[in-house]
Chains A and B, each alone.
Chain A
Amino acid sequence: MTYCKRILAWLVFLAGLLGLLLLASRICIPKNNDSLSGMEQARANGILAEPPESIDILVLGDSEAYTSFSPLLLWKDTGYTSYTCGTNSQRLPYTKTMLERALEKQRPKLVILETLAIYRPIKLDSIASDEAAKYLPVFRYHNRWKDLHWNDFTTAPITATEQAPYKGHTHNETVDPCLNVDYMAPTQEPAATIPLVNQYYVNAIQELCEDYGAQFLLLSTPSPVNWNYARHEGIAAFAQEQGYEYLDLNLENVGIDWTQDTFDKGDHLNHFGAVKVTKFLSNYLRGKDGLIDHRSDPAYGDWNDKLKAYENLISH
């Protein structure tokens, strides 16, 4: 075979492969945004089913983001609509993917990034596989071969209908106290280093927010297990250098009682801790540019229904 024929054969082969992968992606992609349909991170992806341009505040990050902050309590206090797209051990490339997905339908006024994800190491090859999965979802949803139905071959990709009941938050009233309460004492330790790849992703997320006219806030939620003064100093220096707004609730007077407000010895906050954090944030965010109280707007009546269901759950 001549050199040119060989190159041509390779080009035809690769084009055919791309076509097959696109076809496989179309078949494997979930046809709704719930876990029964095979959607990954269905709670966080509940954002896809929210009415267009209805969310004012988007909270991104890992499990700290969805345990520490309750959108329905913020609604109750301020009338601001919010959603937390936090997922377990979220890494920044996925944070960016979640933001991009949310921005397809939403125009938030404020995007909050929980800072623990900023310190989570990112492997370059996981970036590559994440990027590949964006364009060819078969890499992410390949395991759906076990659950394929006839409509997977005939229906067009995602029609999101499933809303998460607590707007991405998880409710947990278990108490498992934490003894390490002096975790934020200033030390001589140097500030924690943020890897360059991670810095790149935070900046990319901020630029995306800027493109869509959203303000950007870095937020550290209380967690003796995951946070310390060196980490605070690392984020504070980075935020100052980049001109980002930064709020560390580990140093603020939020009123967390570590004997009551955590369900796993200080790793995450429970419901009681989340109430205090949300209360503090309500006061902090009240009156911020562009945020509007929608409580009297009938278009947002569903939020009141959801709040009622949530309060029923709490009272039980």
Chain B
Amino acid sequence: MLSFSSYFSSGYLAVYLPVCVLLYALAGQRGRRVVLLLFSAVCFWAVSGKLIAYLLLSTLSIHHFGLWLSDVQDRSKAELAAAPKEERKALRARAQTHQRWILALGLSIQFGILLVLKYSPFAVTNLNNLFSALGLSYSLRVPRFLLPIGISFYTMQAASYLFDVYRQKCSADRNLFRLALFLGFFPQVMEGPICRYGQTAHQLWEAPPLRYQNFMLGLQRMSYGLLKKMIIADRLNLLIKNVFTHYENYDGIAIAVAAVCYTIQLYMDFSGTMDLAVGAGQIFGFQLPENFQRPFFSRTIPEFWQRWHITLGTWFKDYIFYPLSMSKPLKKLTSKARKRLGSHYGPLVAGTIALFCVWVCNGLWHGSAWSYLFFGMYHFALILLGNLTQPVTDKLTGALHISRTSLPYRCFQIVRTGLLVCIGELFFRANGLRAGLAMFERMVTASTLEPLRNGTIFQIGMSRKDFFIVALLLGAIFVIGLLQERGIHLGTRLAQALIPVRFVVYYGVILALIIFGAYGDGYVPVDPIYAGF
């Protein structure tokens, strides 16, 4: 069997995708739809086998509940139109309740599957711990389930569709196959981006003919992702694995280096995967939403989360943060708090409650473990602290005559945000919360410069030359990012360049991948990190 455990496997890159593109290019519009659907099913099957039943169940479920919601909405509209004015309010309220129940039922199927498969082992383990702490001899059997690939991603998409139909942002889709393609489109099903129905469903179903320019731009984008993953993320893996597995053997500075390396690895792995997903979409002529916008140029933690895993952040904002902060109880709380605490701190109270819920969900979305919850709470605390201290910071910078737009201050903010993110990722990657705390303690209390002076830092899994090649490529990515921040997109310019220039760049990229790629003997490519969430 062709191994297809990630978008970086040769099975996917050399066989699945090229064959799909070829068949897509040869087929008519209907045929192109069939090709996309078929390959989406085959790819899902290749990774998760029979667990594809869960994806089918989700698809059937949102199809049914979407139509049910739409039916109720149509009927209520007709009833409202026919009803006398004085009855309309009651009718509207009844229809609203009815729709809420349907939405809740539909969502409970989607999230129910996710909760049972992903979170029940964590919940039962904690219950057993509680029983034992209370001195009870009773314990429950910890269930173990196989998770279909990308369940956390497609469940979010499925839920967003139901929300959007409920809110009448989109109309319910009668075409089951279009919904199936929206949920299971193979370049994005494993790790996102988490698309909205309005963003992708219709353009996927449109299945435009293949265009050479899209094809080349897509290939360029995919090559960029491959560089990130194969040269940086996979190369950093040995050092990260060694330090995080046996942190007690290493100096605090090695732990700090590993934390920074892990943050880089996570970014390179995930954004590289997104380059592959968006690039593959681009080959077919689809515009998938971007998930990253150079997050390490962020000056604050909230800005970081607007640039990192954007589609997850906007999902939480649209379907948890806003509905909660706009709910009646929190609105009431805001108006009361505003009177007592003023216009800055007043609205913060309700916002903080909604934010807390978002970060609990965000932490747990990444995995069912306390360390992930801690990760969520860490970022919640940082954002809250930033909100609380904002007036003080404003006053302080004003008093000290520090220009908040000056380059040094911006650089300070960017470095500070980067370091805070690295600390969060240390807990995120550590083997459990206790290990994370122990690593952090060691990093703060037992750091010396010795490993850098005597060169032992280069014996943990990465030599000087490995560090050099990583630094070189990171430098190139930094420059590309800087240009993108200024609105200059090298990919588009390259596509318009003279053939010899293009050839040189393409040869350079391919040779860099083959020669400097961390594959073969001595390397263990990192498993797609976000596919596990």
Contact = CB atoms under 8 A, between A and B. Distances in A.
Interface residues of B, number: 27
A28 B520 CA distance: 14
Contacts of A126: 3
Interface string B492-533: 000000010001001100110011110111110000000000
Nearest to B465: A146
Nearest to A121: B1
B11 interface: yes
Given A17-B507, A138-B514, A125 B499 contact: no
A145 interface: yes
B224 to A, nearest CB: 18
A125 B9 contact: yes
Given A139-B514, A143-B522, A123 B2 contact: yes
A20 interface: yes
B10 A128 contact: yes
Contacts of B515: 24, 28, 138, 142, 145
A20 B463 CA distance: 27
A138 B514 CA distance: 8
Given A139-B520, A145-B516, A129 B463 contact: no
A13 B504 CA distance: 10
A125 B212 contact: no
A124 B11 contact: yes
A24 B15 contact: no
Interface in A131-182: 138-140, 142-143, 145-146
A149 to B, nearest CB: 14
Contacts of B465: 146
Contact of A143 (B14, B503, B521): B521
Given A24-B514, A128-B10, A139-B514, A123 B3 contact: yes
Given A40-B521, A143-B520, A125 B514 contact: no
A126 B506 CA distance: 25
A17 B510 contact: yes
Given A24-B514, A28-B515, A145-B516, A124 B1 contact: yes
Contacts of A9: 499
A143 B518 CA distance: 8
A146 B235 CA distance: 13
A40 B2 CA distance: 25
B506 A128 contact: no
A6 interface: yes
Interface in A20-56: 20-21, 24, 28, 40
B511 A13 contact: no
Nearest to B9: A125
* Top 6 A-B pairs, shortest CB-CB distance: A125-B10, A125-B11, A146-B465, A123-B3, A142-B515, A124-B2
Given A24-B514, A128-B14, 14 more contacts: A9-B499, A13-B506, A21-B514, A28-B515, A123-B3, A125-B9, A126-B3, A138-B515, A139-B520, A142-B519, A143-B522, A143-B523, A145-B515, A146-B463
Interface of B: 1-3, 9-11, 14-15, 212, 463, 465-466, 499, 503, 506-507, 510-511, 514-517, 519-523
Interface of A: 6, 9, 13, 16-17, 20-21, 24, 28, 40, 123-126, 128-129, 138-140, 142-143, 145-146
